Amino acid sequence: MYSLVENIANDALAYADTYHDSGKSLNFSKFYETYTMEIIGSVGFGVECNGFKNPNSEFYVRGHEYFNPQTLYWTLVRALAFFAPDLFKKLKIRRIHPDIVNFFYNLVTQTVEYRQKNNFKRNDFLQTLIELKNDDSIDDKDENKIQRGIFSMTDVAANTMLYMFAGYETSATAGQLAAYELALNPHVQDKAREEVTRVLAKYNGQCTYDAQNEMTYMNMVIDESMRKYPPMRSLFRRCTKEYRLPNSDVIIEEGTLVFIPIQAIQMDPDIFPDPEKFDPERFSPEKKAKMHPCHWMPFGEGPRKCLGLRQGYVESKLALVKLLHKYELILDERTPVPMKIKASALACVPDGGVWLKLRKLEA
């Protein structure tokens, strides 16, 4: 799927070029939201949206409405459904506007039918779901037999929607906040750019999958950004069996909902000294290898850890790599310092957005 993402990163760079050429600052929040939604459309739904050229396409309008309900009714429904999902299920109350659900269901159905009718295949997430739907073989490795071919069209559509829900706001905020910290810390930006320039020179200027994989310091920048601004500020997990906390008399009973305050853990000065400081060196390969796995959990941890971890890294990083190779990122006066985060958002969403100026580097 890497080539799909890189093509969209190239479109994002071309879009940034137009802002530089016109002398305007770039709304990085909108920039990364469009970039991420474009990737979700391509990889998740198998459609080319051209969002940088046509931000008012129905895919974008419905996608944004999915995350930001347009009326008070749907805003309240979404909030209540989060806290009482079982009640909503029993009463069969819709949590999402039917027009949104119908649009994405029809889009997936039409795309699947076209691929099957024309024997067309594409290396994306949707193709994997189609194969699960069509394959009625049984994988009986070891003792774990996984029955395939039991996906209905509703299952396929539901998983594409889940892909969008899990991957949109998280990746969009991770990328724009990393850009914010790079602009706020020029010495970090210079070091990241030096690595990008050096690695791309090794690969003849081509940002291949292997090339971006070698950008260790860029990974450290993303990691530190996700420490300060975790894509999900907290996680919820339900206890599946009675558990006694080690070295204590505290028992967590089966069925108990456990709240994990990820942002509080990652900003704990006993774990990360001077937590407000942006310091990618905390995540050097040597230090990261010694780190307790539950001290840094932007993707969760354990058997329900985020499946999109690798794509999330590539997504957040690739647009930054393209930009750093060509431009210096400078804070616009509209960007608040220190950054304010929307109190109502589960993700670390910048309140007021991230605005940056682009200064072209000398050849």
Burial of 147 per CB tally in 10 Å (0-12, 13-18, 19+)? exposed
Phi first, then psi, for residue 73 (nearest 5°) are: -60, -50
For residue 306, say whether it is annotated as part of any ligand binding site. Answer: yes
The closest alpha carbon to 296, from 213, 349, 222, belongs to: 222
Question: How is residue 7 annotated by DSSP?
Answer: H
Helix (H) or strand (E) holding 259: strand 257-260
- CA distances (Å), 343 to each of 24, 295, 340, 353, in order? 29, 23, 9, 14
Maximum C-alpha span of the chain: 65
Phi first, then psi, for residue 165 (nearest 5°) are: -60, -40
How far apart, in whole angstroms, are the C-alpha atoms of residue 67 and residue 266? 26
Cβ neighbors of 59 (< 8 A, separation 6 or more) are: 37, 41, 45, 47, 49, 51, 107
Residue 4 and residue 123 in contact, taking contact as beta carbons nearer than 8 Å: yes
- Residue ranges of the binding site: 306
Binding residues for heme: 306
